[in-house]
Amino acid sequence: MKYPIKRKSSTITTNYSNLGMTLESDIELTNEYYLANGIAIIHKKPTPVQVVNVDYPARNKAKITEAYYKTPSTTDFNGIYKSRYIDFDAKETKSKTSFPLRNIHSHQVEHLKNISKHGGIAFLIINWKSYNKYFFLPIDVILKYWDNKKDGRKSIPYQEFLDNAYEIKFNYNPRLDYLKIIDEYYLKD
């Protein structure tokens, strides 16, 4: 008896729900290293959520069935390092040519601009997946493109990262030592 060969569908489904989670995990491991070694206190901010409905199928098995974001979250990480406030977000791109500005929300840019205005250190850490490179992108570079996006440019070219951002080398511990860049370019004597 012959059995029909079952083939998997040739349709490829792309799931973007965890895009950036590996980068965030690496940053969280870096932050744990900083905390454990007394270097800095930097944490991932919780997203403000309003729980609306909860099902209780059993006394100890509550399940949230409906929830909404209270307010748009600002950035993912904040903390303090050498008496300086630090605030940043983690982003990833699969592009080989540019980082789309649509990956940054306007309220995040406004928040980072205000942090910088008040003396904090504001930036993005961006993973270029195609090149397996990580960059520390200062707020002033972001604003240069953000403020001019009305004129047509809707992305930051990769060359801008090579010229005006700071590459963060991936290591074992800490994974992404972004404080080294802050030491070299922001807190130099």
How much is the CA Rg of the chain, to the nearest whole Å?
A: 20
- Residue 143, burial from CB neighbour count under 10 angstroms (0-12, 13-18, 19+): middle
12 within some domain: no
Q: Tell me, what CATH number does 95's domain have?
A: 3.40.1350.10
Q: What is the pLDDT along the chain (189 residues), one digit of tens a residue?
A: 455 544 444 444 444 444 445 899 999 999 999 999 999 999 998 776 677 787 887 777 878 777 776 666 789 999 999 999 999 999 999 999 999 999 999 999 999 999 999 999 999 999 999 999 999 999 999 999 998 876 677 999 999 999 999 999 999 899 999 999 999 999 986
63 within some domain: no
129 within some domain: yes
15 within some domain: no
99 within some domain: yes
- Residue 155, burial from CB neighbour count under 10 angstroms (0-12, 13-18, 19+): middle
Is 30 annotated as contributing to ligand binding?
no
pLDDT in tens, 75-88: 999 999 999 999 99
Is 140 annotated as contributing to ligand binding?
no
* 135: containing domain: 21-46+72-185
82 within some domain: yes
Q: Report the distance separating Cα 4 and Cα 78, nearest Å.
A: 57
**Whole-structure pTM value:** 0.78
Total domains in the chain come to 1
Contact 78, 112 (CB under 8 A): no
Is 159 annotated as contributing to ligand binding?
no
65 within some domain: no
Is 108 annotated as contributing to ligand binding?
yes
60 within some domain: no
